[in-house]
Amino acid sequence: MVESREKSDAEWASCLSPEVYRITRLKGTEAPFTGAYCHTKMPGQYHCACCDAPLFSSDAKYDSGSGWPSFWEAMAGGAIATETDTTLWMVRVEILCSACGAHLGHVFDDGPEPTGKRYCVNSASLRLHGDEEETTNT
C-alpha cells in the first residue's frame, strides 16, 4: 500500500492548476483526444499529478482508440484504489490514486491480454517521469 498524502480541499485548490483540480479533486474529465498523454510514446513512469505517487508504467500503455491514455495494468503495490461510480446513469468502476484519492478515470474489462483491463485515465491526472526527461502537467 502507498503512504497516504492527505490535504484539505483548500490546500489542493491552492497547489493544483484549475484544470487538474477540476479533474482530480472534483471528478471531472477532459475531452477525448485532447490530453497531453493521449498519444505519448515516451518511456517512463506515470505518476499522480497531485501527490507524485507512481501509478502506471509506459510498458503497460497502449492505444485503445478511446481518446484517453490507456493502460492494461497499474503499478504493483496497491497504487490504484477503486470505487463504484453510478453517475451518468450507468455503473462504472472509478479508479483513484491510493495515496491521495485523486480521481484518475475508470477501468473497463475490454482491454488487451494479459489482464483484459483498460485503465482509461485523464492526462491531467498524470505526470510523466520519462527515462530521459520529466514532463509535468500541473
- Say if CB 43 and CB 85 are below 8 A apart: no
pTM above 0.95, yes or no: no
φ/ψ of 61, rounded to 5, equals -85, 145
The answer as to CATH 2.170.150.20 being correct for domain 9-135 is yes
> Would you place residue 64 in the very low, low, confident or very high pLDDT band (cuts 50, 70, 90)?
very high
pLDDT in tens, 96-134: 999 999 999 999 999 999 999 999 999 999 999 987 654
From the list 108, 102, 97, the residue with the least C-alpha distance to 70 is: 108
- Say if CB 30 and CB 126 are below 8 A apart: no
Q: Give the residue numbers marked as catalytic.
A: 120
pLDDT in tens, 7-53: 888 889 999 999 999 999 999 999 999 999 999 999 999 999 999 99
Q: What's the chain's length in residues?
A: 138
